[in-house]
Amino acid sequence: MVELSGRTVFAGEATADLLVLDAPLSFWGGTDSGGTIVDGHHPQRGVSLTGRVVALPSARGSSSSSSVLAEQIRAGTGPAALVLTEPDAILMLGAWVAAELYGLRLPIVVLTAAEHRLLCARSGPVTVLAGPERATITA
């Protein structure tokens, strides 16, 4: 078991199986409403994000990703948590909108590149506790 400490981008809690993405992802055009990766160039095309703690190196653009993410959270097809190596305002906005409009929280955490690699080497269930100051990830 490993315990990692990160920076909270958006507070919340989640426990779910880990899904490691090998490349950045845009939710707009890169995922469908069911939470499946549909980007034809993404190495994990066809994989579902739904209910998973998703570790990805970073997001990949489109300001509309926030609305796609918020809608996936509302529909119950979004990830359980996001773990990145750099903060992303677009994803944070999607999580914030889902929390404000629907009362549903998607924790978003940033780890250092070294800690992110440690997490990505794991599999199975992961617990994300993202408080207002710091986040703890147990895998």
Residues with catalytic function: 62
Q: What tokens were used for 75?
A: 């529909």
Please say whether the beta carbons of 98 and 68 come within 8 A.
Answer: no
- In order, the DSSP letters of 84-112 are ESS--HHHHHHHHHHHHHH-----EEE--
Please say whether the beta carbons of 42 and 55 come within 8 A.
Answer: no
CA angle 131, 5, 111 (to 5 degrees): 100
